[in-house]
Structure 1
Amino acid sequence: MCKRILKSQTNTVSGVPFYKIGTFGKEADAYISQETFDEYRSKYNFPKKGDVLISAAGTIGRTVVYDGKPAYFQDSNIVWIDNDESIVLNSYLRYCYELKPWKASEGGTIPRLYNDNIAKAVIAVPSIEEQKRIVSILDRFDAICNDLTSGLPAEIEARQKQYEYYRDKLLTFKEVAAT
């Protein structure tokens, strides 16, 4: 978990994006200085590129794969897995965690996900090759559904073919011999 950032250390204009629980996986609406980012990143634990980050409070279980770009994450509300990818690929783990296989702790004002909840999560772990195959398929579906540069053209092409099919069906008539 990252070191706590105080509101007085943030601004809404520029700097390194600071993701809070409400903006995690979306657009940041707060920023910290480059100096604070550099200091905290050198002193405290920080995710590596490719690590799976998980929201641990509020909207529990939202997952993001850290892209390695400068960004800072809200202390104990966002956690990450330091995972051994020789056993489970982070990209596979992300999809499994989107299924929310854990039991969140209840009782407080906001449900929380603790390290123990994550450690006790049970997921199927096929071979690395099978994980790669599954991730490849899910990545393609994700791109079609969420990436405008690939999904939208594919959808437009599919609708164009559908239009042409129904146009041809509706405008094809049997020829009637003139008498």
Structure 2
Amino acid sequence: MGELNWRRVKLGEISDILIGGTPSRKKGEYWDKDLKTDNLWVSISDLQSKYIQNTKERITDEGIRNSNVKLLPENTVIMSFKLTVGKVAITKRRLYTNEAIAGFLPKQQNTFSSEYLYYALSNLDYKDSLDVAVKGQTLNKEKLKNLIIMLPSLSEQRKIAAILSSVDEAIEKTEVIIEQTEKVKKGLMQQLLTKGIGHTKFKKTEIGEIPEEWEVLKIQDFALKVTDGEHKTPKRTEFGELLLSARNIRNNMLDLSNVDYVSQEELEKITKRCNPEEGDILISCSGTIGRVCVVPKGTKFGLVRSVALVKIDKNTTNSKFLMYALQSPNLQKQMMLNQSQLAQANLFLRDINNLKVPFPSLEEQEKIAKIIETFDLKLTFETQRYHELNKIKKSLMQTLLTGKVRVKVDDEVMSQ
């Protein structure tokens, strides 16, 4: 049996639950606005990572004496139980919390590992225990006491926590790589889309300084066609041909996770006026303005009004270059300035036609697009890795924290 030697325990059986408080906001002397003291005070907004080493706010000694805050020692597991329920962290310094956060102190030594309890609480489903309060969902202290976790021996707890921590470290490293790559890509795009490659002479234009050899063209000057999707409400079906809207347009890609469908006959009607083909540019132009992607090879679909389509002349224009140009701060600013605010934001075809684009030679467009695309491929790879690691972590938590898969301290694994 996978759960051999494991115990089902209530949190109240193994821990004393301490709930914090908030000194009066009306008393300025209760708050350390200059952050001179060591009296860290945690609110839900501080619960953004596994460990708490600093807080946005601190309180004074007078604030401590005149409120019901409680000092929590280093290495205490804390969890939000009001408004936003189930955010968990471990304190790395002595600190205080507000009244929406509980701290769990072991009743006896060597009962539980803080690292294990962190993951056990993170894995709980709280929906059946929640009450609905005026400001949102909440737990009370009694319900916190009655939350049940599975508790193995301390040595097995530590082993399980070590495995999950190693996955967390891999996730954090991947997040850093993604963040750094995005930062480099952003700077590179700004450089390439304004300075180009190898230019030494520049000129001032209505969209800023660009190489002398470049032009500033409106989309209507080089596009073969600018149109948008079906204005009449298409007759949707449960399955069939894809019908896409602005929600399906993401930067650099089509998101097909939430799509509508129409019949083949309906699609043929829709695509008579607006027929997306490989290499065309798609722009979200209603609701969320300015997301841009290129129509990929082998994807057949129709569009509704919330998406604009730009057909280009491949003898003069590189699709990927135009996509990146439209994503640049300059073009995004143009779109925002031209959008119409009705019930929701809209970017009309006349405004798209008049967007001003920095326009190098086709050869340079291709070089610029290829350089930027290298970073996009890196981001795609790392993002996929990030999602895969999170799936692995979720699976491990479901099996290791329930005893379905047992781990031994000597690294052997025993399955149910």
Normalising by structure 1, we get a TM-score of 0.71
The CA deviation string for residues 5-24 of structure 1, in whole angstroms up to 9 with x for no partner, is 636x223x421121122233
Structure 1 distance, partners of 2:344, 2:378, is: 34
* 1:37 has 2:264 as partner: no
* 1:10 has 2:239 as partner: no
Q: Conserved in 1, the CA contact under 8 Å of 2:277 and 2:295?
A: yes
Indicate the residue corresponding to 2:247 in structure 1. Answer: 22
Q: Conserved in 1, the CA contact under 8 Å of 2:340 and 2:347?
A: no
* Unmatched tracts of structure 1, length 5 or more: 153-179
Residues 107 and 49 (structure 1 numbering): CA distance in 2 closer, same or farther, change over 3 Å? same
Structure 2 distance, partners of 1:111, 1:6, is: 19
Among 318, 323, 348, which residue is 1:114 paired with? 348
Q: Conserved in 1, the CA contact under 8 Å of 2:286 and 2:347?
A: yes
Q: Conserved in 1, the CA contact under 8 Å of 2:236 and 2:263?
A: yes
- What is the 5 A alignment of 1:92-107? 92-99=321-328, 100=332, 101-102=334-335, 103-107=337-341
Q: Conserved in 2, the CA contact under 8 Å of 1:104 and 1:111?
A: no
The CA deviation string for residues 14-67 of structure 1, in whole angstroms up to 9 with x for no partner, is 2112112223331233111122213433x3231221100101111111112112
Alignment root-mean-square deviation, CA = 2.6
Higher strand share: 2
Secondary structure, aligned partner of 2:364: helix
* 1:69 has 2:296 as partner: no
Identity of aligned residues (%): 23
Aligned length: 149
Structure 1 distance, partners of 2:309, 2:349, is: 9
Structure 1 residue 116: deviation in Å?
2.2
Q: Conserved in 2, the CA contact under 8 Å of 1:21 and 1:57?
A: yes
Larger radius of gyration: 2
Structure 1 residue 87: deviation in Å?
2.7
* Unmatched tracts of structure 2, length 5 or more: 1-227, 386-416
Residues 107 and 148 (structure 1 numbering): CA distance in 2 closer, same or farther, change over 3 Å? closer
Structure 1 distance, partners of 2:282, 2:304, is: 11
Secondary structure, aligned partner of 1:22: helix
Secondary structure, aligned partner of 1:133: helix
Secondary structure, aligned partner of 1:82: strand
Q: Conserved in 1, the CA contact under 8 Å of 2:274 and 2:309?
A: no
* 1:60 has 2:289 as partner: yes
